[in-house]
């Protein structure tokens, strides 16, 4: 009936503008690791945490308590989200690092399945690729871990992202701290490069900053820049936390010297 009325009036309905999309992909976060209960009851673990922003978001939106990751490890879950394909379909069933080396653990009696050691690759149909083709500005910030070292999938800009900040092949950071240059060797008091070193954040090297906060600031800057663009944006924000490494001594130093509100 509405269509008939609009047609009769001679005025076409204005289409809604495409929405901006922000996805926060948190690594190794358990279902009880925030204050928001994700089960039928509030648990003792829920009571340990203070996550007011998540609680505010939950009140304003919808909380799913029966949704599941495609896999209990990094790359398969991320590849599933990027492609809409289950690990059994994509062939990516374990976390990637080197395309010529199987990272999965051998079983004493069962044969490990053949799986796609290189991870995602340029040419795979991905969500950011589809959105970019539809006129979206696509931004990845943080942990990528889509493809192995030296492959096209290690670079998010070859998977549909227009902008990549701090994403590469490795699944964990060398360090969470700017005083270590986010690098593994420097965290351990040595010199030299490592595959775990977070790239692209040289402006923050040597500073008393925390990786998650640095990435959040980069995300805010990207959203502000998107406000000057006439395109909608898709932001895939993937902090490396709460993944290892755990550096307790400097954690204490950091939290004793910063007012985190």
Query: Could you give the residue numbers annotated as active site?
Result: 74, 145
The whole-angstrom separation of Cα 251 and Cα 261 is 16
The whole-angstrom separation of Cα 138 and Cα 216 is 16
Q: Rounded to whole angstroms, what are the CA distances from 120 to 67, 97, 159?
A: 23, 12, 8
The whole-angstrom separation of Cα 96 and Cα 110 is 21
Q: What is the CA radius of gyration of the chain?
A: 21
Structure tokens at 257: 């010297």
Torsion (CA) 78, 84, 90, 93 in degrees, nearest 10: 40
Contact 119, 75 (CB under 8 A): yes
């Amino acid at each position: 009936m509405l269509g008939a009325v609009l047609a009769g009036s001679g005025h076409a309905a204005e289409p809604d503008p495409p929405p901006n999309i922000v996805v926060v992909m948190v690594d190794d976060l358990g279902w009880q690791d925030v204050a928001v209960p994700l089960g039928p009851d509030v648990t003792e673990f829920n009571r340990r945490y203070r996550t007011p922003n998540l609680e505010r978001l939950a009140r304003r939106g919808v909380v799913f308590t029966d949704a599941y990751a495609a896999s209990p490890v990094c790359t398969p879950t991320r590849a599933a989200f990027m492609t809409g394909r289950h690990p059994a379909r994509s062939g990516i069933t374990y976390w990637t690092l080197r395309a010529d080396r199987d990272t999965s653990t051998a079983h004493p009696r069962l044969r490990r399945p053949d799986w796609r050691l290189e991870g995602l690759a340029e040419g795979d149909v991905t969500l950011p690729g589809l959105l970019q083709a539809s006129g979206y500005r696509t931004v990845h910030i943080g942990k990528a871990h889509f493809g192995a070292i030296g492959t096209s999938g290690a670079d998010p800009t070859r998977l549909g992202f227009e902008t990549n900040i701090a994403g590469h092949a490795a699944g964990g950071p060398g360090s969470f701290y700017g005083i270590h240059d986010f690098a593994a060797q420097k965290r351990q008091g040595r010199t030299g490069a490592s595959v775990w070193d977070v790239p692209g954040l040289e402006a923050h090297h040597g500073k008393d900053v925390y990786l998650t906060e640095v990435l959040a600031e980069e995300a805010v800057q990207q959203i502000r820049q998107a406000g000057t663009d006439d395109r909608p944006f898709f932001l895939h924000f993937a902090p490396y936390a709460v993944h290892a490494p755990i550096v307790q001594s400097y954690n204490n130093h950091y939290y004793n010297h910063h007012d985190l509100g």
